[in-house]
A and B are shown apart, each in its own frame.
Chain A
Amino acid sequence: MFSKKSNEPEVNSSENSENQYTEATSDSTPEVEQASYDAGSNGYSNGNSGRSNPTKPSIISEGFEFVGTITSDGVLNISGVIKGKVTAKSVLVDSTGLVEGELFSDQVMVKGKVLGDINCDELNIGPLAEVDGSVSYDSVHIQRGGKIKGHFIKK
């Protein structure tokens, strides 16, 4: 999913689409997207490579706020703000990302902030992450420095 081959055309296509639609954000957005791909290659997507997922990741970019319910069978990269319920196969909350609400996913990687309950199989919490809520997991990895409050339940 995050291999070099599929990565490059994706970045190109996003640059094209920016030229078409916006000029104001064209400086910042590629960095955000690049950052999320880098994050993906840091071991986050390793477990996902076995069950290959043909769909591209859905991206909530920095500065974007979404209120409501998101449901996806694929990968969701969150650099912006989501208030509401999120269901996806794999979720990455990037360092600028914030989720206020419930998070249901097979794989969750948190580098930003999650205020609300997390229900997942594989949870990975980065060193700058903040999690406040009830967490139900099968396998967890918390890197040193992650700030976590709430109730932990191993399934």
Chain B
Amino acid sequence: MVEANQSGCLFVGEGVVLKGNFAVPDIASVSGVVEGDLSAKQVIVESTGLIRGKVTAESVDIRGEVAEQLTASRSLIIRSSGKVGGSVHYAEIEIEKGGSLHGDLHLL
């Protein structure tokens, strides 16, 4: 999953708590906790990951949890362990069986 070229990427390891707003040019992979806004080209929330804030990305892949607001301008995938709350804006969505969505859904 992690490409050889990691420039422009953000990795938040399990147990790490990050507070603030982050602009990531490429991939943001979250296994820990992010409190604040996160914008990236691609956001991956691993099963232990949690983002409390506004998430904006082209594509978003969620195995963990995202609360508050989520915008995916290209694709949004909520995996079976994924949990999303709040307002969601998407262009293309997929929710695997078991995935949880609680909030407003808007088509971009």
Contacts and interface: CB of A to CB of B under 8 A. Distances in A.
Contacts of A143: 94
Contact of A154 (B92, B97, B100): B100
Interface string A130-155: 00000000011111111111111110
A146 B77 CA distance: 12
A143 B105 CA distance: 15
Interface in B59-108: 75, 77, 92-107
Contacts of A154: 100-102
Nearest to B96: A141
B107 A141 contact: no
A152 B93 contact: no
Nearest to B77: A144
A147 B102 contact: no
A152 B84 CA distance: 10
Contacts of B92: 144-145
B97 A152 contact: no
A147 B90 CA distance: 9
A55 B92 CA distance: 37
A34 to B, nearest CB: 26
A152 B77 CA distance: 16
Contact of A140 (B99, B103, B104): B99
A148 B97 contact: no
Interface of A: 139-154
12 contacts: A139-B97, A140-B99, A140-B100, A140-B101, A141-B99, A144-B77, A144-B94, A145-B92, A152-B102, A152-B103, A154-B100, A154-B101
Of all A-B residue pairs in the complex, the 8 with the closest CB atoms, nearest first, are A142-B95, A144-B94, A141-B97, A152-B101, A154-B102, A154-B100, A151-B104, A148-B105
